[in-house]
Chains A and B, each alone.
Chain A
Amino acid sequence: QQQVKQSPQSLIVQKGGIPIINCAYENTAFDYFPWYQQFPGKGPALLIAIRPDVSEKKEGRFTISFNKSAKQFSLHIMDSQPGDSATYFCAASMYNQGGKLIFGQGTELSVKP
């Protein structure tokens, strides 16, 4: 019940395309859903995050869509660029567990020029 399932495992898109990465969770007590971007050999960087009282959030080219009833959320990257090629992790946490993050399995994104 603590798991966060992420798909796909890998994704290849052309420059300008809109890659979509999906995550699903079981525990309805989760109340914070961030997305992280990680380049090889580096630590993850917080991209964007959403709370369950909001169905969509945009920051620049990144958009999170959140479906509370389906217990799913997804990341869309608009006008993707080769520089967006990285591994993306979704995560979930709950306040009463001290903000401990449960990570998805990761998606390796490759944006072809």
Chain B
Amino acid sequence: GAVVSQHPSRVICKSGTSVKIECRSLDFQATTMFWYRQFPKKSLMLMATSNEGSKATYEQGVEKDKFLINHASLTLSTLTVTSAHPEDSSFYICSASGDREPYEQYFGPGTRLTVT
């Protein structure tokens, strides 16, 4: 149980375009979803927290207009990187937690974004 999927696993886009990453909880209802960014050989950096039906809460220094997060249902959250630039290239990972064990976060497999 507690499976989280992400799509796509890899994406390459041109500078100035937008790209959407989906995060789905497959076998539980995710009341809270988290989005992280990870640079090579570095730890995970929390970008934002989203609760179903509410606006996302962004961490300090994360541009909310650049990284649009939507959590429209209990099984789906999306991260849209708008007007992407090469410096946005990174590994983006989502995680989800449910009501029964709100502490336990289950992570998706990650999405490798490359902006050319």
B109→A108 contact, CB < 8 A: no
In the complex, what distance in Å separates the CA atom of A93 from the CA atom of B46?
13
* A44 partner residues in chain B, CB cutoff 8 A: 44, 93, 107
Task: With both chains docked as a complex, state the minimum distance between the C-beta of B47 and any C-beta of chain A, in angstroms.
Answer: 11
B107 contacts which of A36, A41, A100 (Cβ < 8 Å)?
Answer: A36
Q: Tell yes or no: B49 within 8 A of A by CB.
A: yes
What total of chain A residues lie within 8 Å of the partner, measured CB to CB?
22
- Would B102 and A95 count as touching, CB distance under 8 A? yes
Cβ of B106 within 8 Å of any chain A Cβ, yes or no, is: yes
A37 to chain B, nearest CB (A): 11
The answer for the CA separation of A42 and B32 in the assembled complex, in Å, is 21
When the two chains form the complex, which single residue of A46, A103, A104, A108 contacts B41, counting CB atoms closer than 8 Å?
A108
Cβ of A43 under 8 Å from chain B:
yes
Residues of A contacting B34 with CB < 8 Å? 100-101
A43 touches B43 (CB 8 A): no
Residues of B with C-beta under 8 A to A17: none
Chain A residues with Cβ below 8 Å from B49 are 98, 100
**B41: chain A residues within 8 A (beta carbon):** 106, 108
* A19 to B46 alpha-carbon distance, docked (Å): 28
A33-73, CB < 8 A from B: 34, 36, 41-46, 49
> Are B109 and A42 in contact, CB atoms less than 8 angstroms apart?
yes
A99 partner, pick from B43, B105, B107, B110, beta carbons under 8 A: B105
- Please report A residues at the B interface, Cβ cutoff 8 Å: 32, 34, 36, 41-46, 49, 89, 93, 95, 98-101, 103-106, 108
4 residue pairs, one from A and one from B, having the closest CB atoms: A43-B107, A32-B103, A43-B110, A103-B43
Listed A/B pairs (9) with beta-carbon separation below 8 Å: A42-B110, A43-B108, A45-B107, A95-B103, A98-B32, A98-B51, A100-B34, A100-B46, A103-B44
